[in-house]
Amino acid sequence: MKKYLSLVTFTHTIFAMPFAFIGFFLAVTTTNYRFEWPKLVMMVLCMVFARNSAMAFNRYLDRDVDAKNPRTQKRDIPSGRISPASALAFTIINCLLFIATTWFINRLCFYLSPVALLVVLGYSATKRFTALCHLILGLGLSLAPIGAYLVVTGAFALTPLFFSFAVLCWVSGFDIIYALQDEDFDRDEQLHSIPAWLGKVNALRLSTFLHVLSAAFVIMPVFFTQVGVLYYIGIVFFCGMLIYQHLLVKPNDLSRVNFAFMTTNGIASVVFAVFFLLDRFVAVHGSAFGIHI
């Protein structure tokens, strides 16, 4: 189990999972649908199964590339801790579990499950033919808030899409920053990435632009849903962390890329989600506890 958790870098679940909770409780608190524990559990399971399949397939498909790259040679498949066949089997099992779980949620989630898998699995191949691979990764993670909303309601809505677009731009932006480490390797191996295509300086500019868009999208729900002070605090914190990671990374200094990638963004998503959830709790139950913010 420890090997497979390492294979899928389970700690990176911290990026999309908080936004799945945002989508779920946005639906519970702004529609006529009630909170149901089984739906919450199945939503979490879908997140885990989808991400496990995506990451395992990525490691399986990239095993030869990872073996050549000094930064990734110690990953589980190149190092021999997990065989390619085991990684592929793990991918298939998680795909089947994902689809099976959606069957028990609602028809729309079940019908859309192959589409979701196509996006999250397809990302792994995109680096071989397009520098827009970062946006495809962002698209995969952006399914979390709208997908969680669909778990509750079985219907699309505008507000959760703002959170999905925020995730798309946020993830794409910080993945570009992370890819700065492999700029030379990607060029040598004829792999496509924004840094290999545009260079470090322009890649960071594009990342900044995407993060500005992400900030705009987390602000947009304010105009469509009643929110309180706590949500505004969450916005300020999230935007502050976006700015902070760009202060950490410079074209001529990539020593803090990993900190900017994992720590900064992990904290940003969790804290933002906490303030969102607190804001929704106050909006729905605050009067019962004498809380008015």
Q: Tens digits of per-residue pLDDT, 25-75?
A: 999 999 999 999 999 999 999 999 999 999 999 999 999 999 999 999 999
Encoding tokens for residue 268? Answer: 């940003």
- CA distances to 66, 102, 140, 152 from 147, rounded to whole Å, are 31, 10, 11, 9
Calculate the CA dihedral of residues 282, 276, 227, 159 and round it to 10 degrees: -130
Q: Cβ of 61: how many Cβ atoms within 10 Å?
A: 20
CB-based contact 40:152 (threshold 8 Å): no
What pLDDT does residue 262 have? Answer: 84
**CA 167 to each of CA 50, 86, 99, 137, 214: distance values in angstroms, whole numbers, following the listed order:** 16, 31, 23, 10, 7
Which helix (H) or strand (E) segment holds residue 221: the answer is none
List Cα–Cα distances, 37 to 34, 44, 145, 240, in angstroms: 10, 11, 17, 34
Q: What is the pLDDT of residue 9?
A: 73
Regarding pTM above 0.75, the answer is yes
Contact 17, 92 (CB under 8 A): no
Torsion of CA 232, 237, 239, 241, to 10 degrees: -170
User: Counting beta carbons within 10 angstroms of the beta carbon of residue 49, is it exposed (0 to 12), middle (13 to 18) or buried (19 or more)?
Assistant: buried
Report pLDDT for 88: 96
One digit per residue, pLDDT tens: the chain, 293 residues? 777 767 767 677 889 999 999 999 999 999 999 999 999 999 999 999 999 999 999 999 999 999 999 999 999 999 999 999 999 999 999 999 999 999 999 999 999 999 999 999 999 999 999 999 999 999 999 999 999 999 999 999 999 999 999 999 999 999 999 999 999 999 999 999 999 999 999 999 999 999 999 999 999 999 999 999 999 999 999 999 999 999 999 999 999 998 888 889 999 999 999 999 999 999 887 655 556 56
Q: What is the pLDDT of residue 3?
A: 74
From CA 117, how far away is CA 108, in angstroms rounded?
14
- Residue 291 is predicted with a pLDDT of 60
Break the chain into its structural domains and give their ranges.
Answer: 2-284
Phi first, then psi, for residue 250 (nearest 5°) are -125, 155
In this structure, the chain runs to a length of: 293
Q: Which fold has domain 2-284?
A: Tetracycline Repressor; domain 2 (1.10.357)
Residue 148's closest CA among 267, 52, 28? 28
Q: Residue 265: which of 240, 241, 249 has the closest Cα?
A: 241
